[in-house]
Amino acid sequence: MASLGHGDASISCSKPENGFVDSVSFIHSEKAVEELLQQTPVDGMDEHLIEFSEALRTVAKALRRAAEGKASAQAEAAEWKRRYELERTRNIQMERKARIAARSSAEENGDFDCGRVENPDNQLIQQNELDEHSEKCCMKHGICSHEVLRDRVSDSNCNKDHSKMMRKASFKLSWWCKGENGDQHKHDIVSFEKGNITTAERSSRQISLKWESDPQTVLILTKPNSVSVRILCAQMVRWLKEKKKLHIYVEPRVRVELLAESSNFNYVQTWKDDGEISLLHTKVDLVITLGGDGTVLWAASMFKGPVPPIVPFSLGSLGFMTPFHSEHYKEYLDSVLRGPISITLRHRLLCRVVRDAAKNEYETEEPILVLNEVTIDRGISSYLTNLECYCDNSFVTCVQGDGLILSTTSGSTAYSLAAGGSMVHPQVPGILFTPICPHSLSFRPLILPEHVTVRIVVPFNSRSPAWASFDGKDRKQLAAGDALLCSMAPWPVPTACQVDSTNDFLRSIHEGLHWNLRKTQSFDGPRDVNEDLNKLRVFPKLRFPAAFRIFRSILETFKLGDDENIRWYVMGDDDTLFFVDNLVEVLSKYDHTKYHYIGMNSEAIKSNMDFTFDMAYGGAGYALSYSLVEQALVPAIDECTERYSFSRTSDELLSFCLSDFGIDVTTEKGFHQIDVHGDISGLLSSHPVSPIVSLHHFDGVNPLFPSKNQYESVNHLMEAAKLDQSRLLQQTICYHRATNWSFSVSWGYSAHIYENVFPRSFLKLPIETFWPFKRSAKPPFYIFKTRFPSGDPCEAPHVFSLES
């Protein structure tokens, strides 16, 4: 008989003659076994000690399974209790609706007593009167602000209008349908007639917000550390106060910035502590955000309960929740304040952390609301996360990988999308279940219904703790045995739509992600191909057949479209950007029934010397009148080609042929060959007062705008062109006499501010930010005069590029 004792464990064992341990008695805990194993030496070949250690390990495994079973049983009991409370709450609501129906019937009969209502037990009910009144209103007309987006206020005097009892403006949310609203319009119903399941045609429903009283107070939240946002905020605050007579709330930081700018902003209000933040929803009717999606997340996190409607303006780098552009903020806010407007109800997740879930039935920390996602990952640990996932009482899976994302549908375009999740319309209620780099090729994302509760448990056998972050902040550690409960929050975030929720969502993924943007597929049907030059009599004489093929395309195009409605033929390279509206405007000055050859030569003297100054360069593009092509060029094109078979380029060959007819090029300064390299901002910022028609050689110059690539720069320039293409890039010079400042503005592109007065003849000269197209060129380089960039702060301009 051997007996060992250590700490809180006692073990007794006996060894018969055959050498096996025939009994083991273990008392207390698995921890004691582990400590005993560590201090029990196993040396040599003693079979007794080896089998003794194996027995202890077997007991430790049994204890671990027992502890896990206990934790699971307690979690299940807590879940049953939660379901019981939900069922009890549902029954109370049903009883309340029954009382409302009885009360409505009493009102119709004229025997309704407003001051007192008796229940079946003749007990007086005063606290719930206002709730019942609000609930009855919502059943008739939709979702009221008193029910969904604000706290309830009880008052015994129910004859008083409910909207006037509130300090805030009241509003109502209702479903509206796009399209016909007549008798033939079908609603969402399900029929079980004759045992068959049929569904009616689905209506296209959107949520509309209608103010029942005028908004009084606006909260403005801004992105920090942005000068442009600060300037816009000051303008918006001044406009809302002076024109709309609204009370303004801002963050303490913003109020300090506004007062530093002007003491006239002393009417702006703010808060002092978290206690006042928690009461904002009782004071604020509307929230305006100036920033990106992060600013919207910050705004939502300030409201732990009901959230006022949010109008998000796009001033960030990438936004899926910010449909409004700041340039037209007055028109947008006028529309919002006047109402009705379309609303997207963005659902939030209610997250609760339960410490040591095996022992605690309730969450031990304050619940957290998230608008995008909650992420559970392994943190700094090198081990894979080990998470047990439950949906209500059903086991889903065990996650082994880098982590797990539980996302709202609004957050489906954020981290969840990067991890391989689906993009989901934000108004679809649901919870996205997306693994992060799972240790399984078959683990695919899920979308769970809105009514479930997802429970994530860190098991006791996990090698390391997990870390949970909520909308990218509030990071919390989850130790073994801890659980995270996530369910749909009762308070959604209402965000205003520019058009409607579907239109805004689709536009955001097209603009933000360039979703499904690809090159046009090649056309497999009939196509136009140049004629076979080998059959032509002139072909053996050609030194550069490719140039002749392009030149002869004029003839082949004429044959395809010999139509009296055609007025001009315009040729250009494949890397030429045409501004079509301006091109039409320029050509409209000329009579297409006469001979006209319109274009522009090169900016580089070297290029003009290599070819000719009397030529419209093909890269910049040129235009030929219909009469010129029909009556002069087409009949003589082969003869002309044979005469100038040595020509190297198609535009040179064209200029030679037209010169024989006595036709010279008519120059238009809007055609740009761009035979320069590098930064052409100095050239574009001094564009003459002439409509820009074309830009060439984008592959040889820097992006047109700083902090953008060439693709983004071209799109940004075209956004300005959509507003007013006729003035694009044209230079305007003006002066501010009080400060002796000079201004040079290239419309839709840049503004140069000089802290000195310079004559127009000086400011019209392009700043030579570029260099020659050919390195072998010798000065003079350009057909126009330039000025070098200056290092003198009194002479160098402050350069501003178009932002929006």
- For position 495, what pLDDT does the model report? 94
The verdict on 442 and 544 lying in the same domain is: no
- Residue 242 inside a domain? The answer is yes
- Residue 234 inside a domain? The answer is yes
- Residue 520 inside a domain? The answer is no
Q: How confident is the model at residue 305 (pLDDT cuts 50, 70, 90)?
A: confident
The domain boundary residue, chosen from 459, 490, 521: 490
Residue 134 is which amino acid? S
The verdict on 699 and 803 lying in the same domain is: yes
Q: How confident is the model at residue 36 (pLDDT cuts 50, 70, 90)?
A: low
- For position 499, what pLDDT does the model report? 83
CATH code assigned at 277? 3.40.50.10330
- The total domain count for the chain is 4
Catalytic residue positions, numbered: 293
The verdict on 696 and 749 lying in the same domain is: yes
DSSP assignment of 637-683 equals HHHHHHHTTT-SSHHHHHHHHHHHTT---EE-TT-----EEE--HHH
Which of 113, 138, 137 lies closest to 126, judged by CA? 113
Does the pLDDT of residue 685 top 80, yes or no? Answer: yes
- Is residue 650 within 8 A of residue 572, CB to CB? The reply is no
The verdict on 572 and 558 lying in the same domain is: yes
- Residue 102 inside a domain? The answer is no
For CA atoms 270, 273, 278, 282, the dihedral sign is: negative
- For position 77, what pLDDT does the model report? 73
Tell me whether the omega of the peptide bond preceding residue 780 falls within 30 degrees of 0, making it cis: yes
Strand 493-496 to strand 341-346: parallel, antiparallel, or no bridges (unpaired)?
antiparallel
- Is residue 173 within 8 A of residue 343, CB to CB? The reply is yes
**Rounded to whole angstroms, how far apart are CA atoms 12 and 271?**
68
- Residue 319 inside a domain? The answer is yes
486 Cβ contact list (under 8 Å, min separation 6): 349, 350, 351, 352, 374, 406, 431, 453, 454, 455, 456
The verdict on 686 and 561 lying in the same domain is: yes
- For position 181, what pLDDT does the model report? 46
DSSP assignment of 129-182 equals HHHHHHHHHHHHHSEEHHHHSS-----S-TTS-HHHHSSSPPEEEEEEESS--S
The verdict on 362 and 238 lying in the same domain is: no
- Residue 517 inside a domain? The answer is no
CATH code assigned at 473? 2.60.200.30
**Rounded to whole angstroms, how far apart are CA atoms 552 and 637?**
7
The verdict on 310 and 433 lying in the same domain is: no
pLDDT digits (tens, 9 = 90+) for 513-565: 888 876 665 555 556 677 777 777 777 778 888 888 888 888 888 888 756 68
Percent of the chain with pLDDT over 90: 44
The domain boundary residue, chosen from 286, 318, 346: 346
The verdict on 357 and 267 lying in the same domain is: no
The verdict on 325 and 369 lying in the same domain is: no
CATH code assigned at 608? 3.90.550
The verdict on 269 and 406 lying in the same domain is: no
**Rounded to whole angstroms, how far apart are CA atoms 693 and 566?**
20
- For position 371, what pLDDT does the model report? 94
- Residue 499 inside a domain? The answer is no
The domain boundary residue, chosen from 289, 319, 346: 346
Domain that holds residue 396: 349-490
501 Cβ contact list (under 8 Å, min separation 6): 206, 207, 342, 343, 344, 425, 426, 427
Which two tokens mark 766? Answer: 């392009």
Residue 24 is which amino acid? V
- Is residue 730 within 8 A of residue 690, CB to CB? The reply is yes
Name the phi and psi angles at 621, rounded to 5: 95, 150
Residue 292 Cα to chain centre, angstroms: 8
**Rounded to whole angstroms, how far apart are CA atoms 503 and 210?**
20
- For position 131, what pLDDT does the model report? 46
The verdict on 315 and 436 lying in the same domain is: no
pTM higher than 0.75 for the full model? no
Q: How confident is the model at residue 207 (pLDDT cuts 50, 70, 90)?
A: confident
Burial class (CB in 10 A: 0-12, 13-18, 19+), 137: middle
The verdict on 410 and 279 lying in the same domain is: no
- Residue 667 inside a domain? The answer is yes
pLDDT digits (tens, 9 = 90+) for 72-95: 777 777 777 777 777 777 778 777
